[in-house]
Amino acid sequence: MQLLQLSKKFFNCPIALCRGHASENPELPEALKAKGIRFLGPPAEAMKALGDKIGSTILAQAAGVPTLPWSGSGVAISFGECKGNIPQDIYDKACIFSLDEAIESCQRIGYPIMLKASWGGGGKGIRKVHSDDEVRQVFKQIQGEVPGSPIFAMKLAPASRHLEVQLIADRNGNVASLFTRDCSVQRRHQKIIEEGPAVAAPQEMLRDMERCARALAKSVGYVGAATVEYLYLIEEKTYCFLELNPRLQVEHPVTEGITDTNIPSIQLMIGMAIPLWRIPGMRATFSKDPNGTDYFDTNTTPQRLPQKHVVAVRITSENAGDGFKPTAGRVDEVVFKPTPEVWGYFSIKGGGGIHEYSDSQFGHLFASGPSREAAIRAMVVALRDVRVRGEIHTIIDYAADMLQSPEFVNNKIHTGWLDSRIAANVKAERPPWHLSVIGAAAVRAHEASACKAAEYLGYLSKGQLPPPDISLVYFQDDLVIDDIKYHVKVIRRGPFTFNVSVNNTAVDVVARKLGDGGFLLQVDGESHVLHTEEEAMGTRLVMDTLSCIIAKEADPSRLVALSPGKLVRQLIKDGEHVEQGQVFAEVEVMKMMMPLLCPAAGVIHFQVTEGAALSAGELIARMDLDDPSKVKRAEQFNGELPPLGPPQVYSDRVDHRFTQALNAAKMIMAGYNYPVDDILEELVSCLDHPALPLLQWHQEFSFVESRMPPGLAAKLEAVTAEHEQALGGSTADRSNTEFPGRQLIGIIKGAVEAAPENEQAMLQQQLEPLARVAKAHSRGPEEYARSIVQEVLSMFAGVEEKFQSSSGLTTEQEMIDALRKSYPNDHQAVLDLVISHQGLNHKMELVKRILSTLVLPNPVPYRALLRRFAALSSKATAEVALRAQQLLEVSLLADLRAVVARALSGLDMFAEADGKLSPTVSANVGSIFSPQPSGDQAGAAAAAGTLTGMLGGSTVVPRKATVREGVFSGLNSLMAPRSVSPHRHSSTGGAITPAVEHKIETLVAAPAAVEEALASLIVDNQDKYLALQYRALVTYVKRIYYPFLLCEPQVNQHGSMLAASWMFDDPRTAETSAKRQNVGAFLVLTSLKELSKGLQVVAAAISSLASQAGVHPSGSILHVAVCNGSDALAVSDGAAKLLATGGPLLGCEAEESFSSVELITSSGPRSPTATPKQITQVVAAAVKDASSLLKAMKVGTVSVLAAAALMPVRNGFVWDMEEQAYKFEPYLRQVEAPVARLLELDKLASQQAVYTPSRNRQWHMYHCTERKDQRSPALRRTFLRGLVRQLGSPAFLAAMYSMAADKVASAAVDELESALINCLEELTRPAPDHQGVTGRSDWVHIFHSVLPQLSLQGVDEGRVAGALRSACAALVAKHNTLFRTAGVAVWEMRFRVPGGAWRLLVSCPTGEADVGFRWQLGRLVPLQMLDKGSRLQGI
């Protein structure tokens, strides 16, 4: 009715319909004729006769057209006889009205059979059956799908081709055929690919098909365009009539392409009553003059043969990977670019969609070529370029693969070919599995992080606290692709960079979000465009033009709708049992009937009723599975990713590698994850490369060269060319070649000043990149590396300082809330800080490595940053805080070494212009203990100024903490006064300083721990001023044997060796009746291979000194120092053989076998390559090799100092009487043997203790853990031991002058207060140490060994005991909180008195003020009792 109204509105215009059911409805032309409107198509009689499948087949049989065996075989009546209205009795002979008739007809024809509804189409009312049982199952379904339609049965043709003849008939009875089309590629009897002309059958047979088609159309008086469809039986080489479509079909452009005609225009001219022989297009087809008017017979006149081949592909919204099931939904994008060979059309565009009630076809492509092969190639190329993105699936990829299949290319297909491919589960080309896994993992991680970030920002914007467990860096997921499950882990390397790992194989990938919602994926140096779409069964991933499904974990107990549609009928009753693979229901999807198969056996329970509309993913039924264990599940992938390169192709140039490494380090500081070791190694390697500045300069120079003023580029290139030439020299020359940054800055500055005033600002802006590079490298590579390190470390400090407990904020949530208030308008900044803080553990790994690798050799310039690190108070950052504190201490120890060097050298040497023995020893990159090369006055002055500032001068480096910690305790007299410059000269040219001898005595008795500084001066032989080494040796000996040295060390030089010998009292028996004197010796070597030669020298010195003193040298102590040199660790052949065995030597920790030659560096003594363990092994081998000589010398203890990268490494070996061999003694690694005796370390021999020094190195702490059994909690014990070298307070001196023993004892205890406080503060430091001992101890023992002797006469033990009790009680009460916090259980003191020692033990197990005391007063026990059971007998 609407068509009629529209036609009347537009002046009775003719109507031509080529698609849809209305075009085949005979009522339409009748109604139009009644209104006087011409219909561009067949008359109602012909349409009625041919539009019905049964009727058209009856008429075709009458016209002599071959047909397949069917239920109406033999039934015939011509159109002339019936005038298009077939009598009902004749029509009924071909129909089936009941199930019994259907079975009888099928048995007569022979299976397989196609049961069809005459009015059906689009998959409705058509079923293939193979048996009577199947007929019984589907007959009612066919009746229900097309109610009222007649049903017939037709033999299912075997392997056959679906061929069509295009007809055009005019109103004058002329009928022409426009060659043939081949539509054999079908699914569910619906066409997918068409091509023309047909080449599957012989030409004679094709011409006969055309003849029969023309005869059929002529016999019914057909007018307009029509298509006669045939089945060509391949084996029989015959054809059969299938049906006639009384309309113009959508594939008509195939015919137009091969005949160069315009069929719709021909239809219009036919409607104008123009005969075919007058239509220009038709005349050209028959090789006639298009403008001619002569008559020709279209039935007998030969046609012009096609000169082209055309291939057409229907674009449908079907899931080719799932049996071509229809899909519906949103369409986001449709991209098709026509070419001269390919054109097409689409019925939708981006932003549209396909609903569940429409036809699945929404596009059609046509490709032409001079041959079939050329047309196929053009179509494949076009399909690869088509992009349809949205919720729907398409067959584009599948069609492209199908066109390239051997069967299609070789034309070996048939009407069941595509269905057989579907049944065989032939899939379209997929993206490579590893790209699918990597892309899906990266995209899901990107979307998950974006979702979590949005959620986090949402909390902040609402003023709420986000949950504490939101992770934005680490993800893991299970991806199921083609029934294989991949467990993937994803780590964010940056905002767009991800690391995807599968089974311990990983690859980096870059994923950037595109404006259309997709992603640009970069992996293995290639780029891919990736889109994802969520579906009922999972996520569809489209990579470029290929797609795959990331499936959800299958749950066979839930039967869901895969796409929108309608549940037509339930084929199983609710609650009945179904078998696996059995059809349980039918749904109508996009005009197609789709069966639903049960994935597993069980009892079904429907959740929706028949006729219900279904949405994608909606639950249709639940299953009670018979055996859930038999359900097929995805197989776990146990393989690995293939070897893949980086996401982008990077240059191997040093500057590019440096940029990448620095960016990675910054990403780590931003909270992301990179391999710390690799990044740091690359960063250090690039910073150490001499060509880095030049390459960075060239990079910027290439951008601004063309905009430079004339001549400037030449000047700059001349300077850099000279530097480049120097870099091309020998390796030694290259290492000393400095980038001419200052010279380049001068040229740039001069060019800017020489430019006109109005151009200076612009020129300066243009040259700014070059000036920035030149300035960055103007102070040398060390300063540039320092700036990079400070930049990276500042990022860490800047973030973590905001997450420290302060202002009452104790939890991380409170700190985040404080940040939210601090950044009210920039919540993204808060999120960035949180992301960075979440990566704290990984950041700390990098920070610790940087501190150890780049800061440790020279920590002085980093003091400001180190103090920021040391101030971090949270438990999470405690390890870095402690490491920073240690480095601060190291930097102070470097200054301490400078103070010691100045004291032993004489200040007059620091005023000389040559800069020898510069106090800025820590400024050398190679070793903080190595003096700088001469000529660096500026560095010496700077370090001296820093040291002065540390003592209280005007400087940014505070000294308060150092004074409190006691690093320089007792050394004030050795430092330059604040009012006097270190470079101030006297009238005689020397610096104003005390005598060196006095300074040596000051160093010997000072509380400051100067042992390591003295040891480093001994082993550092780079300065040829041997007096310094001599004085350091003497001072070292006096200090470690203080106050038990009996004579001055006798030092003699023997070639390159120094040898010293002396007499001393055994510290444990001194001034007692059991006192024992012994001999000590010191040997300074340049190489361990000289040990045997040196021992001979020392043996003579010991023997001479012992004979003079009249003592036996048994149990003497030998000290050996190996100077810092290129062959310092070279050993004798015997020791080398011991090293080659690789086993433990003398009980020290085993190391892999190696040669000492590997540790000898050719680059000089400032590049030590040996680790402490390797040094220990080498020394142990040398000692073992020389054991016979040492035993002959009666040496009880051997202590060896060897130069290392930072501090000298000390190793001690003790003679074991039972085993008659030297054994490695771990406790002698930190202290020398005399000190170990004073600290009574033999009492700790049974403990497996871990050593840590105090911050000022004055106290020695030993940690151990004890358990009664495995279930009991661990008891952490700490033993803190130290020497008190000075007692000299006014109160103590006054007590000494009074000669009152009780006052002396009380004053001595009072003077220990500062040492006690220092120890307690050290014990309460809230940080772990570098050995892994974390937190405070449960039980602490403090032992102070006081070296100065208390001069007492007439001792009243009762009064002394009371005085000691009172003094100790007062101290414990005064510092009760510190005692309790530190967990001190015992405080033990040992005082030397004439004739023995006092030992006082303060027991405070609860930490309360009213503690009880146990004290012991008396002489020392005999030596034999002390040595009994001790592991330190040789000491």
Check: CB of residue 1037 under 8 Å from CB of residue 1082: yes
Query: Could you give the CA distance from residue 714 to residue 1062 in angstroms, rounded to a whole number?
Result: 70
Per-block mean pLDDT, blocks of 10 residues, the chain (1435 long): 56 52 74 81 80 83 85 85 82 90 91 86 78 88 84 86 94 93 88 94 93 89 91 89 86 94 92 92 92 90 93 92 83 90 92 83 94 94 89 89 92 90 82 90 90 86 79 86 89 91 92 88 91 80 84 78 80 85 81 79 87 82 80 83 88 90 93 90 91 90 87 89 79 63 91 88 90 90 92 92 74 82 87 88 90 85 89 84 82 81 64 32 29 33 30 34 63 57 33 64 89 89 68 93 90 89 84 78 92 92 86 88 86 87 70 45 42 88 92 92 84 90 91 93 84 86 84 86 90 84 87 91 65 65 92 73 85 88 90 82 62 38 31 33
Alpha-carbon dihedral sign for residues 37, 43, 45, 47: negative
Check: CB of residue 166 under 8 Å from CB of residue 252: yes
Burial category of 1332 from C-beta neighbours within 10 Å (exposed 0-12, middle 13-18, buried 19 and up): exposed
Global pTM reads 0.68
pLDDT value for 1073: 67
Alpha-carbon dihedral sign for residues 1222, 1228, 1234, 1240: negative
Q: Which is the catalytic residue, given 38, 247, 283, 1068?
A: 247
- H helical segments located in 970-1025: 996-1005, 1011-1019
DSSP letters, 1198-1221, are EEEEE--SSS-EEEEEEEETTTTE
Helix (H) or strand (E) segment spanning residue 301? none
pLDDT value for 1418: 41
| Distance between start and end Cα atoms, the chain | 119
Query: Could you give the CA distance from residue 382 to residue 1281 in angstroms, rounded to a whole number?
Result: 85
- H helical segments located in 1375-1428: 1376-1382, 1423-1427
The residue type at 339: T
DSSP-based three-state secondary structure for 488: strand
Query: Could you give the CA distance from residue 233 to residue 184 in angstroms, rounded to a whole number?
Result: 12
Q: Nearest-CA neighbor of 1227 among 1259, 1258, 1251?
A: 1251
Query: Could you give the CA distance from residue 780 to residue 687 in angstroms, rounded to a whole number?
Result: 11
Q: Nearest-CA neighbor of 35 among 67, 7, 60, 59?
A: 7
pLDDT value for 1250: 87
C-alpha distance from residue 1088 to each of 100, 169, 1120 (Å)? 111, 113, 9
Q: Nearest-CA neighbor of 151 among 134, 165, 135, 166?
A: 135
Task: Tell me, yes or no, if 247 is annotated catalytic.
Answer: yes
Query: Could you give the CA distance from residue 306 to residue 91 in angstroms, rounded to a whole number?
Result: 40
pLDDT value for 1316: 92
Characterize the bridge pairing of strands 1116-1122 and 1077-1085: parallel
List beta partners, residue 232: 161, 239
Token pair 């480096």 is found at 957
